[in-house]
C-alpha cells in the first residue's frame, strides 16, 4: 500500500512515518508540510534518524509520487484541501483530524463521497473497545446514573473537548437512545443550578505533555462505574491509522470508522 502522510514533521506525522516503516505491506511514497517548514526538502526517513526512504518532504501534494491512500492528522482547513487532492486522484483517505464545524464536516463528506475513507476521532484499538463498552454500559445504566466525560491532553492541543471525548459522549448517548446535542453540557460556571437528569457533562484539562487521558463515569448515589483509557505513547494512534490504511485496500467507496476496521460492528 503506497501511503502519503501530510503534516509529516509534526508530532503525529513523525509517528505515522515510523508506523509505516514498521508495517508490513506499507510503503511511504510521499510526505508534505506547510510552506516554509524547516523540514521541506529533507528525506522523511533521514529527518527521523532512519535510513533514507526515498520520499522527500514537500509543500505540495503534486510533488509526491502516486499513492493509494493519504493519512491526514492536520487541521480542518488543511484536511479539506488534502481531501480534494484525494478525490481528484482516486485515492483512499484516513482522517484523524478533529475540530471540524458543521459546515466543514458537510463539505468534507461531499468531497469524499466517492472515496474509500476511514474517519475516527481516535485510532487506538483500546479506545475503540472502550467506546463499545461505554455504549453497552449506557444501555444498562439509565438516567438514574449521572454521566460525565473527562479528558486531558497536552498544552498544545487546540480543540476542546477532544474528538475522542465527543466520540465517548456519542457512544453514551447512543446507548441511551438520545442525541448528544440534546443532552450535552460542555461548560459550568457560576450558579448553574442542580444537575439536570439525563445530561452528559464534559470536563477538559490541558497541560504539559499529556498524550491523552479519557474517562466515562456513570455515577449513582450508591456506586460509580468508570471506563478509562490512558495513552502513554502517540505511536498507538499511528499504528491504528496505518492499520486502517491497509484495511482500506479491499474496501469500496464509502465512509468507515475504526469500529469497521476492527470488526466491532
- Alpha-carbon gap, residue 243 to 10, rounded angstroms: 20
Instruction: Point out the residues that are catalytic.
Output: 153, 157
- pTM of the predicted protein model: 0.82
Give the CA distances from residue 163 to residues 36, 57, 97, 120, 263, in Å, rounded to whole numbers and listed in that order.
Answer: 29, 28, 9, 8, 21
pLDDT value of position 67 = 96
pLDDT for 265 beyond 80: no
Separation of alpha carbons 129 and 125, rounded Å: 6
H-helix or E-strand containing 212? strand 212-219
Over residues 188-200, the pLDDT tens digits come to: 999 999 999 999 9
- For the cut 90, the answer to whether the pLDDT of residue 207 exceeds it is yes
Domains and CATH numbers, the chain: 2-119+234-261 (3.40.50.720), 125-231 (3.30.360.10)
DSSP 8-state class, residue 61? G
The confidence score (pLDDT) of residue 48 equals 95
| H, E, C per residue of 205-259 | EECCCCCEEEEEEEECCCCEEEEEEEECCCHHHHHHHHHHHHHHHHCCCEEECHH
Residue 247: other Cβ atoms inside 10 A: 21
DSSP state of 65: P
Q: What is the mean pLDDT of residues 243-248?
A: 97
Distance in angstroms (rounded) separating the CA atoms of residues 200 and 186 = 9
CA-to-CA distance for 240 and 38, rounded, in angstroms? 28
The per-residue b/e assignment along 213-224, b for 16 or more CB within 10 angstroms, e otherwise, is bbbbbbbeeeee
Q: Which residue has the cell 484541501?
A: 81
Provide the pLDDT for residue 140.
97
pLDDT in tens, 146-182: 999 999 999 999 899 998 999 999 999 999 999 999 9
| pLDDT value for 178 | 97
- 33-90 tens-digit pLDDT: 999 999 999 999 999 999 999 999 999 999 999 999 999 999 999 999 999 999 999 9
Q: Has residue 121 got a pLDDT over 90?
A: no
**In which band, very low, low, confident or very high, does the pLDDT at 230 lie, cut at 50, 70 and 90?**
very high
* Residue 173: per-residue pLDDT: 98
Average pLDDT across the chain, whole number: 96
Grid cell 535510513 is found at 51
The mean pLDDT value for 26-37 works out to 96
Amino acid at each position: 500500500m503506497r501511503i502519503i502522510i501530510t503534516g509529516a514533521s509534526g508530532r503525529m506525522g513523525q509517528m505515522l512515518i515510523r508506523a509505516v516503516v514498521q508495517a508490513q505491506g506499507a510503503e511511504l511514497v510521499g510526505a508534505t508540510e506547510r510552506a516554509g517548514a524547516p523540514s521541506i526538502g529533507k528525506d522523511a526517513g533521514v529527518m527521523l534518524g532512519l535510513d533514507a526512504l526515498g520520499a522527500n518532504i514537500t509543500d505540495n501534494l503534486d510533488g509526491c509520487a502516486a499513492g493509494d491512500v493519504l493519512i491526514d492528522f492536520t487541521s480542518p482547513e488543511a484536511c479539506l484541501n488534502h481531501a480534494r487532492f484525494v478525490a481528484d486522484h482516486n485515492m483512499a483517505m484516513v482522517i484523524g483530524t478533529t475540530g471540524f464545524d458543521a459546515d466543514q464536516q458537510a463539505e468534507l463528506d461531499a468531497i469524499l463521497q466517492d472515496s474509500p475513507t476511514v474517519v475516527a476521532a481516535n485510532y487506538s484499538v483500546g479506545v475503540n473497545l472502550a467506546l463499545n463498552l461505554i455504549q453497552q454500559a449506557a444501555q444498562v445504566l439509565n438516567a438514574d446514573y449521572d454521566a460525565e466525560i473527562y479528558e486531558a491532553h497536552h498544552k498544545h492541543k487546540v480543540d476542546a473537548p477532544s474528538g475522542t471525548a465527543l466520540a465517548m459522549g456519542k457512544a453514551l448517548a447512543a446507548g441511551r437512545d438520545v442525541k448528544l446535542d440534546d443532552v450535552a453540557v460542555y461548560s459550568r460556571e457560576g450558579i448553574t443550578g442542580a444537575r439536570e437528569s439525563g445530561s452528559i457533562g464534559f470536563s477538559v484539562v490541558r497541560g504539559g505533555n499529556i498524550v491523552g487521558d479519557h474517562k466515562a463515569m456513570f455515577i449513582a448515589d450508591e456506586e460509580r462505574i468508570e471506563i478509562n483509557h490512558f495513552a502513554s505513547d502517540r505511536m498507538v494512534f499511528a499504528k491504528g491509522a496505518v492499520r486502517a490504511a491497509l484495511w482500506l485496500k479491499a474496501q469500496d467507496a464509502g465512509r468507515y470508522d475504526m469500529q469497521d476496521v476492527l470488526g466491532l460492528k
